[in-house]
Amino acid sequence: MHPGHGEVLVTQGDPDVAADEARLVAEFRRQLDEGLWAAVPLTVGGGRNGAKMVRSFADVPRDAERVIFFPRAAGGC
Amino acid sequence: MALALAASALVAVALLSDMLLPLVTDAWRRQRQRRRVAPELSIDPGRDRRAERTARELLRSCVNEEEWAMYCELGFIRVWGSGPPGEPEYAYLIYPHRPIIAYAVQTGRVLGEHCVVFPDQTRPFGTSRLPDSDDVLAKWMALTSDEQRLLRDANTHLPGRQMSLVALKRDIWRLSRWERERAGDRGGSDPASGAPSAPAERDI
């Protein structure tokens, strides 16, 4: 997510392919190093959806289709 | 005589130059700045609209059908609180770029305002503000994944500080009516039985 832009595709690939996985891991780390949070949207069950915050690439479910990076929360108003 | 006048004039000019020179220099600098061509700002009036359209698609792909309809028709999304079993049920209302509102589901009583922002410090387009639907999605993801962490990060205030209690009670009432209508359309059970009644004038 970016101001003035909405969703921006950072990178994509198949984590089962070694070259793709290396690129995905590197980009994941870069986004977190820039101070963003990472979350994976999930279908929780019972008709409810939710999200799971991930702090490392290993936390990303293998069947996840995407990881969404967004700015960290801060107290406001 | 003429020589004396000329000498006096020279001395006067020399003395006045200390006072006049800065004024002349400033006037010259201002004149140059006025002539300088300012760089043209590339303002794209459709940028924010396109960003919001993209953000809405992303939000739609993450939330369920009921939450999406709620956002489109009511302007906010309700997320259930994850309190311990047996405790009174509570929920949150997520508005774009407004505080997250906690309320008791059975009574409709507003419990508090949780003020949280998601500023992008890189300010890629001169602003740190996410599009409306991205702000809602960020709150939704943070609440559904780690409610307590988000509440710790937020500034929590008593009800009514940022948002009118009347407007909030009206929104809670609109939500319960909206759910009743949807349940009626489906011919299912009433999900909002025991829901709060419409706000009365005395609440104003």
pLDDT digits (tens, 9 = 90+) for B135-154: 999 999 999 999 999 999 99
Question: B71 and B15 in one domain?
Answer: no
Q: Read off the tokens for B114.
A: 């949780």
Question: B24 and B52 in one domain?
Answer: no
Q: Looking at beta carbons, which residues of chain B come within 8 Å of A52?
A: 145
Q: State the nearest Cα–Cα gap between A22 and chain B, in angstroms.
A: 26
Q: State the nearest Cα–Cα gap between A37 and chain B, in angstroms.
A: 9
Residue B91 contacts A where some CB pair is shorter than 8 Å: no
pLDDT at A44: 72
With a pLDDT cut of 70, the percent of chain B lying above it is: 82
Question: B16 and B95 in one domain?
Answer: no
Domain that holds residue B67: 48-190
Question: B55 and B26 in one domain?
Answer: no
Of A34-38, A46-50, B109-113, B185-189, the range with the lowest mean pLDDT is: B185-189
Size (chain A), residues: 77
pLDDT at B201: 41
Residue A71 contacts B where some CB pair is shorter than 8 Å: yes
pLDDT, tens digit (0-9, with 9 covering 90-100), for A30-69: 999 988 999 999 987 777 789 999 999 999 998 899 999 9
Subunit contact A35:B121, Cβ cutoff 8 A: yes
Q: Classify residue B42: in a domain, yes or no.
A: no
Subunit contact A73:B51, Cβ cutoff 8 A: no
Subunit contact A3:B120, Cβ cutoff 8 A: yes
Subunit contact A41:B150, Cβ cutoff 8 A: no
Q: What is residue B44's DSSP assignment?
A: -
Count of alpha carbons within 13 Å of B203, Cβ hemisphere only?
Answer: 16
Question: B144 and B83 in one domain?
Answer: yes
The band of B178, judged by pLDDT with boundaries at 50, 70 and 90, is very high
- From the list A6, A49, A76, the residue facing B116 with the nearest CB is A76
Q: Classify residue B159: in a domain, yes or no.
A: yes
Scan residues 31-50 of B and list those with Cβ closer than 8 Å to A: 47-48, 50
- What is the domain count for chain B? 2
Q: Classify residue B70: in a domain, yes or no.
A: yes
Longest distance between any two alpha carbons in chain B, whole Å: 116
The identity of residue B188, as a single letter, is G
pLDDT at B36: 64
Question: B20 and B52 in one domain?
Answer: no
Question: B80 and B4 in one domain?
Answer: no
**How much is the average pLDDT of B117-137?**
82
The band of A26, judged by pLDDT with boundaries at 50, 70 and 90, is very high
Q: What are phi and psi of B24, to 5 degrees?
A: -65, -40
Q: Read off the tokens for A50.
A: 């939710």
Q: Classify residue B201: in a domain, yes or no.
A: no
Question: B143 and B80 in one domain?
Answer: yes
Residue A68 contacts B where some CB pair is shorter than 8 Å: yes
The band of B184, judged by pLDDT with boundaries at 50, 70 and 90, is confident
Residue B182 contacts A where some CB pair is shorter than 8 Å: no
Q: State the nearest Cα–Cα gap between B85 and chain A, in angstroms.
A: 17
Question: B75 and B2 in one domain?
Answer: no
ipTM of the complex: 0.90
pLDDT at B202: 39
Q: Classify residue B37: in a domain, yes or no.
A: no
- Is the pLDDT score of B20 beyond 80? no
Residue A5 contacts B where some CB pair is shorter than 8 Å: yes
What pTM value is reported for the model?
0.76
Q: Looking at beta carbons, which residues of chain B come within 8 Å of A51?
A: 62, 140-142, 144-145
Question: B182 and B119 in one domain?
Answer: yes
Q: Classify residue B115: in a domain, yes or no.
A: yes
Helices (H) and strands (E) in chain A, counts: 1, 4
Q: Would you list the domain boundaries of chain A? A: 18-71
- Is the pLDDT score of B195 beyond 60? no
Q: State the nearest Cα–Cα gap between A38 and chain B, in angstroms.
A: 10
How many residue pairs from chains A and B have C-beta atoms closer than 8 A? 137
pLDDT at A70: 92
Q: Classify residue B196: in a domain, yes or no.
A: no
Q: Read off the tokens for A67.
A: 């990881």
Q: Classify residue B179: in a domain, yes or no.
A: yes
Residue A65 contacts B where some CB pair is shorter than 8 Å: no
pLDDT at B6: 79
- Is the pLDDT score of B196 beyond 90? no
Q: What are phi and psi of B114, to 5 degrees?
A: -110, 110
Question: B103 and B11 in one domain?
Answer: no
